Each structure stands twice: as structure tokens, then as C-alpha cells.
Amino acid sequence: MARIRYTIDGSEPSDNSQIYTSPLLFSESAVLKIQAVAPDSDPGIVISYNIRKADLLDPLMISDTTPGLFFDYYERFFVTTEDIDLVDPVRSGIISSFTLDNKEKESYFGFRYSGLIKVPSDGLYTFFLKSNDGSRMFIDGRELIENDGNHGAVEEPGKVALKAGMHRIMVKYIQCGGGKSLTVSWEGPGFKKCEISSKDLYIETKL
């Protein structure tokens, strides 16, 4: 029966290395290397993983906020979500949450939503972006989820470590024809996966 030997200090696995018997827990960054070995067989190739400790992103120092999200609405055939950055919106405004209710046609439109999300406590958060067709999510200006292109309803996750407080969130969405849907969810310390609701979203009133 094959066994797996491993190291967590970047060295190559050997006959003296630990044998994997249960899940590994890491509290610091490490280089994990694993190798399958079996009696009467040559050792397998060494596979390496860089495990990096998550750095919690600091919240924004913003005090003047009100519930809602800014949105820009577009009407055009888009190939990717990046295309909406090349044209002017048909309409802009403020809405309560991530919704397609403000669309004015059934096909070939797009939205860009931007605002603040209130993170309740320090920790690792998983965001989920489900869309038909393309979508992207950015947290504090960093792309977290890429779910772009012309496709059916597909959900993609992204993990980020955040400190409690206000963080910037932006979602881009395009509809290329056929079905249309957008669901933005998250889970984190103390709560299970759920849609991001209006009580979690804010806009800055002093820009």
C-alpha cells in the first residue's frame, strides 16, 4: 500500500520524513512537500505547495455612511466585464443591494455595483459570486473572484482575510443573452453561507 511522506520546512521528503496520517494544521506560512512511496516501487514525484498565512486587510477609516450601493447601468452587448469600463453608463444611482431589478431591457445589459461592506469581526471570509453570464468581484480594490464570460449560472468562490469594519466592494456583471441571474453571498466567522443583504452594504456620504 502506498504511503505519503511529507516535510513542511521546504526540504525534500526522505525515508526519515513524517508519514501523513491525519489533516495538517498550519498557524504560520510553510512550504509543504509530499511524495508517495510504496514497497517495491520507485518513489513518486515530489509535489510542492507554498502555504501562506493570510494577512488580514485593514478596514477603512470611514464614519459618514448610509445604507445602499452605487450602481452604473449599461445597455450593450459585452464580451467580458472589462468592456463596461470602456463605455459610459446609461443611468447611475443608488440601490439597496445586488439586484437586477433596475434593468430596462431583457438582454445585452450590464451593471457595476460599488460601495462598502460591513465586516462584523476579524477572520477569514469566503465570498461567492453566482451569475449568468459574466461577473467579477473586487474587495478593497483587489480582484477576488473572476467568473467572466458567456455561460449559464455558475458560482465561483474567493477567500480573503479581513479585519472588522468597512471594506470596499465592487461587482461587475454582464448579460450576454438567454438567462440572467446574479447572486452575491458570503460566509465567515460565526455565520453560515447567506446572501449579502442590504443591512451589510453602505455608501460613503462624504466623497
Q: Is 180 found in the same domain as 146?
A: yes
Reduced to 3 states, what is the DSSP secondary structure of residue 25? Answer: coil
> From the CB of residue 141, how many other CB atoms can be counted at a distance below 10 Å?
8
58 domain-assigned? no
Residue type, 164: A
The chain-wide mean pLDDT, for the chain, equals 93
CB 156 within 8 A of CB 186: no
**How much of the chain exceeds pLDDT 90, in percent?**
77
In the chain, the number of structural domains is 2
Q: Is 106 found in the same domain as 17?
A: no
59 domain-assigned? no
- Residue 98 clears pLDDT 60, i.e. is over it: yes
What predicted TM-score, i.e. pTM, was given to this entire model?
0.79
45 domain-assigned? yes
> Which of 10-14, 39-43, 75-79 is least confident?
39-43
- Residue 207 clears pLDDT 70, i.e. is over it: no
Give residues with Cβ within 8 angstroms of 161, minimum separation 6: 54, 55, 56, 57, 123, 124, 125
- Residue 99 clears pLDDT 80, i.e. is over it: yes
Reduced to 3 states, what is the DSSP secondary structure of residue 200? Answer: helix
pLDDT bucket at 124, cuts 50 / 70 / 90: very high
Pairing of the two strands 201-204 and 65-67? antiparallel
pLDDT bucket at 33, cuts 50 / 70 / 90: very high
Buried residues in 87-99 as b, exposed as e (16+ CB within 10 A): eeeeeeeebebbe
Q: Is 133 found in the same domain as 75?
A: yes
Q: The cell 440572467 sits on which residue?
A: 180
Question: How far is CA 94 from each of CA 22, 51, 89, 129, 205, rounded to the nearest angstrom?
Answer: 50, 40, 14, 21, 12
Q: Is 103 found in the same domain as 155?
A: yes
pLDDT of residue 164: 97
Q: Is 46 found in the same domain as 69?
A: no
Q: Is 114 found in the same domain as 37?
A: no
- Residue 119 clears pLDDT 90, i.e. is over it: yes
Instruction: Average the pLDDT over 145-167 and give the result.
Output: 94
Among 139, 188, 166, 144, smallest CA distance to 59 is for 166
Q: Domain limits at 43?
A: 3-51
